[in-house]
Amino acid sequence: MASITSSIGTGSGLDIGSLVSQLVSAEAAPAANRINKREAKLQTELSAIGTFKGALSSFRSSAFSLSLSSTFTAMKATSSNSSLFTATVGYSTMAGNYNIKVNQLAQAHSLELATLVNKDAQFNDGALKITVGSGASREIAIDSTNNTLEEIATAINKAGAGVTATILNNGDNRQLTLKSTATGVSNTIKIEVTGADEVGKLSLASTFDYSGTDAGLKQVQAAQDASITIDGSSTETTSSSNIFLFNSGSLSGVSLEVKSVGADAAASTAKLEIGRNSASATDALDGFIKGFNTLMGAIKSLTSYDAKTKQAGALLGDASVRSVNFQLRKMLGESISGPSAYNNLSSIGVETQRDGTLKFDSNKLTAALAADPTGVARLFTGAEASDSEPAVEGLGTRLTTYLDKIAGNSGSLNSRLDTISKNISNLGDVRETLNMRLQKLEIRLTKQFSAMDALVGQLSGTSNFLSQQLEGMAAIYDRK
């Protein structure tokens, strides 16, 4: 709104600017208050709906985990001696027990110089061609720019040949070791060297020559595969690394990592037990209970009323909240059709408490999983139609689908949030319209008071003139 310049009326003596400002402010205050109250209410509602949507989304995540069949079919692998080996399993792995004997661990091929080299020694020109296993060869040129042992080691490490070069100091002498970056027989180091002898320099070819015998380079550690024996088989199972991945057979989906070898056959053998991982379902249901109780806490806070302070929650009486609360409780209390005795939450240890929250007895779930794991899974994941039974929608799937309609990206709460945001944005236009109306009022009042001031000035001038005339006539009569 445009500012009003204070001015004293020349005819009336009134402060027209101040008077107009007060009248405009009196006109603006009620309208501005209505807009501000409307905006505050919308902002409160926007924040409350956002909180409600967030709580629903969190609960939806916990419900979704219960809709997955993998939650109930998860397997676990247990080693009776984790210092020998550890193991993990996939969902499709078969249950079973196996005796695993660790025969040997995988080793990386390692070489070192047969003799020490002085720190100032220089090698003749030539090239090192390094190959690890069946990988690509890397050729490293040696000339006057990189012919010391340290410079050669640096060049090897930069070449990306699958070999790590390390320099060890021994006074003025240096020792070089070359080690494959990968373990296993398939990653054996091969080196081809070219370079002629030169006066005053070391022979590159003779120093770095390695052909499996102790020549310029000698073997420190042979390349070796890891090896295990399963259930006393006459055939060893090998791996180039210390991790064994099984893609077929009864151990399909198992990843086993060997850690050490015992002092004898007995100390090198441990049991691998693969069985159902009931903790997966227990943890998922525990998360579901916590998610629901957190949601109920949010709803209680948003819809509460404090009689002492007379403060109401932002969503007290909100139809959407009441509907969601009703629908969730209805679904949680329903049973699904089927032959299993575990067809509702109560049957697996979930009970509703007096305050509306849920309580979970994990022992009942454990017992149910042991008695009828398929029935427990069916309660949450449902089942496809068969010749004898129609399709069944599980509780986890039912809740996930419903919550997506409410709190998903295309859900009803998102639409409501968009509407509230637009209404808040529209208040800017309402304020602009009010400002324009007040500016017009200011201009009109200023003109009206200015005209009044001019009229008062004219009347005052006429009054003064008449007074002077009357005073003159009175003086004439007084002289007679």
| Residue 92: predicted pLDDT | 74
The CATH class given to the 110-221 domain equals mainly beta
| Residue 91: predicted pLDDT | 75
pLDDT tens digit sequence for 304-356: 988 888 888 889 989 999 999 999 999 999 999 888 999 999 999 999 999 99
Residue-by-residue DSSP string for 50-112:
HHHHHHHHHHHHHHHHHT-THHHH-EEEEES-TTTEEEE--TTPPPEEEEEEEEE--B--EEE
pLDDT tens digit sequence for 260-292: 999 999 999 999 999 988 899 999 999 999 999
C-alpha 397/C-alpha 382 separation (Å) is: 7
| Residue 14: predicted pLDDT | 63
Mean pLDDT, rounded, for 405-425: 89
Token pair of 154, please? 């640096």
**Per-domain residue ranges for the chain?**
1-73+288-326+393-480, 75-106+225-276, 110-221
Residue-by-residue DSSP string for 405-426:
HHHSTTSHHHHHHHHHHHHHHH
C-alpha 254/C-alpha 79 separation (Å) is: 12
**240 three-class SS:** coil
| Residue 214: predicted pLDDT | 58
The distance in angstroms from the start CA to the end CA of the chain is: 65
Quote the percentage of the chain above a pLDDT of 90: 59
C-alpha 407/C-alpha 63 separation (Å) is: 13
CB of 376 closer than 8 Å to CB of 281: yes
| Residue 38: predicted pLDDT | 86
What does pLDDT average to over the chain? 88
CA–CA distances in Å: residue 239 to residues 185, 233, 320, 452: 9, 16, 60, 105
Token pair of 469, please? 């005339």
Mean pLDDT, rounded, for 12-41: 78
Instruction: Please compute Rg for the chain using Cα positions.
Output: 45
Most confident among 22-36, 200-214, 342-356, 455-469 (mean pLDDT): 342-356
C-alpha 155/C-alpha 159 separation (Å) is: 6
Mean pLDDT, rounded, for 293-309: 91
Mean pLDDT, rounded, for 449-472: 67
Quote the percentage of the chain above a pLDDT of 70: 91
pLDDT tens digit sequence for 74-99: 899 999 999 999 999 987 788 899 99
Whether 463 shows a pLDDT value over 70: the answer reads no
Kindly report which listed range (12-26, 130-144, 295-309, 342-356) carries the lowest average pLDDT score: 12-26
Whether 4 shows a pLDDT value over 60: the answer reads no
